């Protein structure tokens, strides 16, 4: 009996160790590039389609994102040759100001190599807002990235409205909608947490977000251990058709809390947007 228990514990430790090693490697792998073509009903007449790269949740300073890996991630984003790059928040790991300040130069050094034709747009996430948002925003600006919150800009044929992160209560959707409706182009909304999706009006057909890490650790049959969303599985991951709206939620590039991923590999999206 004791011998059986001993073998059982040994096998369990071996399986657990192998699973943990796989999850560590999964968190450190290169991102999967996911692709989709999305038609926008308000596309300006005569304008050709554009490509948009969506990446999120870098979490530099965490166990899965050091300077070398971030440089590699930036190169992967640049390799998509997207017309516009969107970075949907959580550039910093943890919630400490010193982490943000220490890693600000790392962000600038890696992300300054992103030079898409229509530029790079970023919104801060809850980790950025909780640590040192000024330091993070300054680091991104030094890399030539437009950091936007509750405002809108025109980029090519797109009117991009950027809503502050709702998870950390920095969102002002009415202000963003007013700004977006004052600029020309097909409407695209960007934010960090996808939880604002049900509150968007009908004339905002596309939302890009991150934040959930697609669950980060997702077991077969059991599902995700934790989803940082008040809406649970509804906007956990991927491309979601939500009535007349499309919501795209990236899995992110880094990790939060533990440097592991299981069933939710890092990814970035390359979206082709155009007319119907």
Q: Average of pLDDT values for 56-76?
A: 96
Higher pLDDT, residue 5 or 62:
62
Q: Average of pLDDT values for 246-266?
A: 97
Tell me: pLDDT of 83 over 70.
Answer: yes
The phi-psi region of residue 163 (left if phi > 0; otherwise alpha if psi is between -120 and 50; otherwise beta) is beta
Tell me: pLDDT of 5 over 60.
Answer: no
Distance CA 176, CA 272 (A): 24
Instruction: For residue range 90-142, list pLDDT tens digits in order.
Output: 999 999 999 999 999 999 999 999 999 999 999 999 999 999 999 999 999 99
Share of the chain above pLDDT 90, in %: 89
Q: Average of pLDDT values for 206-215?
A: 98
pLDDT at position 24: 87
Strand runs (DSSP E) across 30-80, as ranges?
32-39, 50-55
pLDDT at position 115: 96
Distance CA 234, CA 202 (A): 18
Tell me: pLDDT of 205 over 80.
Answer: yes
Residues in the chain: 276
The rounded mean pLDDT for the chain is 93
Tell me: pLDDT of 10 over 80.
Answer: no
Residue from 67, 222, 108, 88 nearest 166 by CA: 88
Q: Average of pLDDT values for 226-234?
A: 94
pLDDT at position 206: 98
pLDDT at position 8: 45
Instruction: For residue range 25-35, list pLDDT tens digits in order.
Output: 999 999 999 99
Q: Average of pLDDT values for 37-53?
A: 97
Q: Average of pLDDT values for 163-169?
A: 97
pLDDT at position 16: 55
Is residue 268 within 8 A of residue 34, CB to CB? The reply is yes
């Amino acid at each position: 009996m004791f011998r059986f228990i001993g073998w059982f514990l040994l096998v369990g430790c071996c399986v657990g160790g192998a699973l943990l090693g796989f999850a560590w490697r999964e968190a450190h792998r290169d991102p999967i590039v996911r692709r989709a073509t999305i038609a926008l009903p308000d596309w300006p007449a005569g304008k050709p389609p554009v490509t948009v790269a969506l990446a999120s949740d870098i979490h530099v300073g965490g166990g899965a994102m050091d300077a070398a890996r971030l440089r590699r991630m930036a190169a992967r984003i640049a390799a998509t040759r997207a017309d516009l790059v969107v970075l949907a928040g959580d550039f910093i790991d943890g919630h400490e100001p010193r982490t943000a300040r220490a890693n600000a130069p790392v962000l600038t050094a890696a992300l300054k190599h992103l030079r898409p034709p229509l530029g790079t747009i970023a919104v801060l996430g809850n980790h950025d807002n909780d640590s040192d948002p000024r330091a993070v925003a300054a680091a991104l600006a030094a890399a030539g990235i437009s950091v936007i919150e509750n405002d809108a800009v025109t980029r090519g044929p797109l009117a991009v409205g950027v809503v502050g992160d709702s998870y950390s209560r920095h969102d002002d959707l009415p202000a963003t909608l007013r700004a977006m409706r004052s600029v020309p182009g097909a409407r695209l909304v960007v934010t960090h947490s996808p939880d604002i999706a049900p509150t968007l009006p009908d004339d905002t057909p596309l939302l890009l977000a991150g934040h959930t890490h697609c669950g980060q650790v997702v077991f077969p049959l059991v599902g995700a251990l934790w989803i940082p969303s008040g809406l649970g599985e509804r906007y956990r991951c991927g491309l979601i058709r939500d009535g007349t709206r499309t919501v795209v939620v990236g899995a992110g590039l880094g990790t939060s809390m533990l440097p592991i991923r299981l069933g939710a590999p890092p990814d970035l999206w390359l979206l082709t947007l155009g007319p119907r």
